[in-house]
Structure 1
């Protein structure tokens, strides 16, 4: 007994016809492709490695903030100290290019003193063992700050950076030497003046004894010494600074 079959509709008959057509044409297409001549492709000279990663990019190197900078960048980066002055040939100074400082030049970074050294401009010496490290650092920072400010001023006056560094170092260093020499030369007079000041302070502090004898006597000694030593130090420092400026201006070697 045959199963019941639904009558074929027009859509069903069309689908069956399409299947029969594809089944009949497919072998012919396959055979034609097998017998056909191979298709040649033009060689454009482009070679893509099999293991190439499409879209891969080189990683960006991280910048180490402690890494050394170029000489110019290091010199004008006030956020950190630089290792030393500009080491470049010193060209002759052209007076025609100089002018009054306009303070428009970029800031100049201070120079880091070597470990265990006291550096005051062009003067460098071993730090005394008895001098505390924080005091040594204060001396170095103060001298380096003054030197950097002077170098910036010289830059704004038209000096070459290497020349500015040289003059600034010589001025600060020679000023320190001059002040020391001036103080040493008048030390006998300053000592006598300190004794006179101490005696005067002792008398003046008697009404407030015994504390007055200690405090006022020490104050009188300090004033007596300073009256003689301070002017000598100022004069010596000024003379030394002038000598350093001349030497730095006329220097011909780095």
Structure 2
């Protein structure tokens, strides 16, 4: 296999690095050290001064060193920037130039246009009915994640414009993966949970509405006679239910509706959330590889 073919195959794999780094180094800001901010204070007799770096590169492999990832504290988030427009194609990932993470300037989060949802490279207009606070919250969180991934990409030697593309494709891919995997699973869970919840809720509603009626008394008497009467007790229970239903109809319907809503929400969450999480990871990995080659 020649060198150009090997690089073409390896680039999508390399594109996954920023996402992996973002997960492995979660909560750590790769920022340029500032005196008094990112450099630990030296106390005579307590803290030893770090030896000078001979190679000019921060030794991030030493977990207890002053230039390690653990000592790089979060700097103030830079101001937002508009959606970048590149006039030339982003340069490819150069495998030979990749290195261990180094401190770099934090990438500013991207500010989308007004009334626009932007999650990575996915954008769409948003109706005016959607509250601005909700839209801003989603856009801000997505932009911060994208900026963190772009920062991680630059820290390992990926070109800034290519790192931006990888970050945008990673976040957009995570959204697509979550939707593709999560929505069908949530739908299945909602239907099953809604049916089960409706049955349980109807039973509870009937019991609440029928409490104290003659029909309820007959139901309890029939249930108590099951050990002795066996199957002969069921007609008594059924007759009591028929007698009590007109009085308990309203509470039965309300209970069924409440139970269906609660069951649907629970079923959607039980099946939808894990599926969405798995889909987001898979979509993010695929998007990261796509961003490394587009």
Instruction: Bin the TM-score by the shorter chain.
Output: 0.5 to 0.7
Q: Are 2:269 and 1:226 equivalent residues in the alignment?
A: yes
Aligned to 2:174: 175
Aligned to 1:30: none
Please say which structure displays the higher CA radius of gyration.
1
Given that 2:190 and 2:266 are in contact with CA atoms closer than 8 Å, whether structure 1 keeps it comes out as: no
Number of residue pairs matched?
175
Aligned to 1:124: 123
Aligned to 2:99: 99
Which digits, 9 at most, give the CA deviation of each residue in 1:74-94, with x for residues without a partner? xx9943210123625322211
Aligned to 2:49: none
Aligned to 1:89: 89
**Cα distance in 1 for residues equivalent to 2:280 and 2:76:** 29
Q: Are 2:141 and 1:114 equivalent residues in the alignment?
A: no
Which digits, 9 at most, give the CA deviation of each residue in 1:1-30, with x for residues without a partner? xxxxxxxxxxxxxxxxxxxxxxxxxxxxxx
**Cα distance in 1 for residues equivalent to 2:93 and 2:172:** 21
**3-state DSSP class of the match of 1:225?**
helix
**3-state DSSP class of the match of 1:99?**
coil
Show structure 2 runs of 5+ residues with no match. 1-74, 210-254
**Cα distance in 2 for residues equivalent to 1:223 and 1:77:** 39
How far residue 98 of structure 1 moved from its aligned partner, in angstroms, is 1.6
Note the 1:68-217 alignment, pairs <5 A: 78-85=77-84, 87=86, 88-102=88-102, 104-196=103-195, 198-199=197-198, 202=201
Which digits, 9 at most, give the CA deviation of each residue in 1:45-84, with x for residues without a partner? xxxxxxxxxxxxxxxxxxxxxxxxxxxxxxx994321012
**Cα distance in 2 for residues equivalent to 1:105 and 1:204:** 62
Q: CA RMSD in A?
A: 3.1
**Cα distance in 2 for residues equivalent to 1:91 and 1:160:** 7
Given that 1:85 and 1:166 are in contact with CA atoms closer than 8 Å, whether structure 2 keeps it comes out as: no
**Cα distance in 2 for residues equivalent to 1:101 and 1:172:** 21
Show structure 1 runs of 5+ residues with no match. 1-75
